[in-house]
Homo-oligomer: A and B are copies of this chain.
Amino acid sequence: MAESMKGLHRSHRCTEVSNENIGQEVTVMGWVQKRRNLGSLIFIDLRDRSGILQLVFDDSTSDAEVLKKANELRSEYVIAATGIVRKRDGAVNNDLKTGDIEIDVKTLRILSESETPPFPIEENSNTKEELRLKYRYLDLRRPDMQRNLILRSKVTTFMRKFLENEGFIEIETPMLTKSTPEGARDYLVPSRVHPGNFYALPQSPQLFKQLLMCSGYDRYLQIVKCFRDEDLRADRQPEFTQVDMELSFVDIDDVIDVNERLLKSLFKEVLDVDIELPIKRMTYKEAMERYGSDKPDTRFGMELVNVSDVVKDCEFGVFANAIKDGGTVRGINATGQGNMPRKKIDKLVEFVKGIGLKGLAYIQIADDGSIKSSFAKFMKDEEMDALIKAMDGKNGDLLLFAADKTKLVFDCLGALRLELADQMGIIDEDKFNFLWVTEFPLFEYSEEQERFVSMHHPFTMPMEEDLDLLDSDLGAVRSKAYDIVLNGYELGGGSVRIHQGDIQEKMFEKLGFTKEDAHERFGFLLDAFKYGVPPHAGLAFGLDRLIMLMAKRDNIREVIAFPKVKDASCLMTDAPNVVDEKQMEELCLASTYVEEKE
């Protein structure tokens, strides 16, 4: 039976008690981490958000009733204890903030009992994630989960403070809105008042923040939930949080400047990590050429090398034909991996096949300089020498080559480079390598739709230098879009927006929208642009990913209190679930799925 805490007031959290309180009476409350009986003594580790504090019940000083209650305590019982702070009798525990003190308990109340939890409440227990998520309320008691969520709160508080000082105003945009054209699938919300009509949950506040710039708010900020009904990955959730901003009367450098200073201050304040400014910038083109990725992990080298020129005339059909077909041959040098067993190399081949490449060509250079290669027999000696030289191949190195269409080669070698680095253990996990990637293509070709689509969104400004290319070579037009990359993750991105009606119209035309299409989808933005629109640009950070990287986790579920799993369900609440027939009727909706089954 739970006792009330009537008349009691907590005087300290567990680790707020220190040896400065010795001799004082304190009242602490929390969960029983564990109980140990040692002769006539009972020790309790009491846990709260702040940490652990040792309670002692001594049968020479505690009264019988208190001792009896203390003996009933089990893990996760919630208790309130009042007693005197004293120096520990026994050994000091240097692992604990309160390791040199203990509370000699005089009165004890059991505020809540507990059944035995389905898994131990401790850091690094390797409980299956499914169980952790079903009992998330227990999992969230783990000190590491508490650290992660407290870190998250610190980060958003700091970012808001910083950006407020920079003149940003936090403005809430609607959650119940109209489909936005971000490309992904919307979550829809049926309307009861307007049967057959739907709201969409926002994929981003893109249009609204641009409207706020039209309205003269100058600098907008919002830390906001966004939604995408897409299949999940380790770093994706159906609902995710963006740190979203937009600025008026600025160009790229202004956006980069304020965000660099934000990141530098944030990492210094919260993690005591120094970020050197300015953060390096790299064009999209350079990033693809050197790393096969538009979000390169620059904590290590192993860059891609273009050997097309070296092998374009060789007898090895895979190489020569790829180039003849307009593709490319590129390699990476896995330094020191010359002795990799054949089996392991085969696994690398399987890895790139998984991404779409037909195979992987390799040269193993043994420590004594002797060479094993999958394609040497097709090559002249001087061609092999030139190839190894181009790759800077040394004794003991493993050279790996991909030959195919350029985009596929980039994708595969980019991924292979990360996989190898991971296997080789050459990534310095203490590094935070930031990078701006700039000059993204404005369009990309969609094989599915057989037309060019926006790489970001149709409001992205083309580079002034490339405006003429809009009429001649869409694939070559670069945009004023930029991403901020951290350790191989896209941390955020943004762009300068089109603020000129004539360029915006041309964009829609090039994307194949009729005037009616464009008006149907973005009418209110186009209307707003008739009444004086300032040049503006913006950026959004993915907060979940930022916190994941700051907490050095490899899954965003570790930094979200109540995440969904792969099928977008919540294992704790069982959402989504069936609803009453009455609710469906009020919305004038019927499930065609149920009908099919019947």
B189 touching A187, Cβ below 8 Å: yes
> Does residue A195 face the partner (Cβ distance < 8 Å to B)?
yes
In the bound complex, do residue A199 and residue B576 qualify as a contact, i.e. CB atoms below 8 Å apart?
A: yes
Closest beta carbon of chain B to A526's beta carbon, Å: 11
Q: Which one of A288-296, A372-380, A422-430, A496-504 is at the B interface?
A: A496-504
**Chain B residue contacts of A313, Cβ below 8 A:** none
Complex-state Cα separation, A588 to B589, whole angstroms: 10
Q: Is the CB of B195 within 8 A of A591?
A: yes
On whether the beta carbons of A177 and B573 are closer than 8 Å, the reply is: yes
List chain B residues, Cβ under 8 A from A112.
499-500, 532-534
Q: State the CA gap A550–B353 with chains docked (Å).
A: 63
Contact B78 A178 (CB under 8 A): no
**A535 contacts which chain B residues (CB < 8 A)?**
4-5, 111
Q: In the complex, how many residues of chain A place their beta carbon closer than 8 angstroms to a beta carbon of chain B?
A: 129
Of residues 149 to 200 in A, which have CB atoms within 8 Å of B's CB atoms? 149-150, 152-153, 156-157, 160-161, 164, 169-179, 185-200
Tell me the bound Cα distance from A588 to B241 in angstroms. 28
Shortest beta-carbon distance from A549 to chain B in Å = 18
B464 x A6 contact (CB < 8 A): yes
Which chain B residues border A88 with CB–CB below 8 Å? none
> Is residue A394 contacting chain B, with contact meaning CB distance below 8 A?
no
Say which residue of B185, B238, B527, B561 sits within 8 Å of A172 (CB atoms). B561
* B502 contacts A1, C-beta separation under 8 Å: yes
Q: 8 Å CB contacts to B: which residues of A103-144?
A: 111-115, 117, 135-138, 140-141
A227 close to chain B: CB less than 8 A: yes
Q: Which residues from 191 to 225 on chain A have a C-beta closer than 8 Å to any C-beta of chain B?
A: 191-201, 208, 211-212, 214-218, 225
| In the bound complex, CA of A131 to CA of B176 (Å) | 21
Q: Determine the distance from Cα of A146 to Cα of B219 in the docked complex, in whole angstroms.
A: 12
Nearest chain B CB to A79 CB, angstrom units: 9
Q: Which residues of A (563-598) have their CB < 8 Å from a CB of B?
A: 564, 567-570, 572-579, 583, 585-594, 596
- Contact check, A583 vs B188: say whether CB atoms are below 8 A apart: yes
Interface residues in A482-510 by Cβ distance below 8 A to B read 499-502
26 sample A-B contacts, Cβ–Cβ < 8 Å, listed by A number: A1-B500, A4-B464, A29-B534, A31-B532, A112-B532, A112-B534, A113-B532, A114-B531, A117-B531, A140-B215, A149-B171, A149-B217, A152-B171, A153-B171, A156-B170, A157-B170, A176-B239, A176-B564, A177-B573, A179-B577, A185-B586, A188-B587, A189-B576, A198-B577, A208-B562, A524-B573
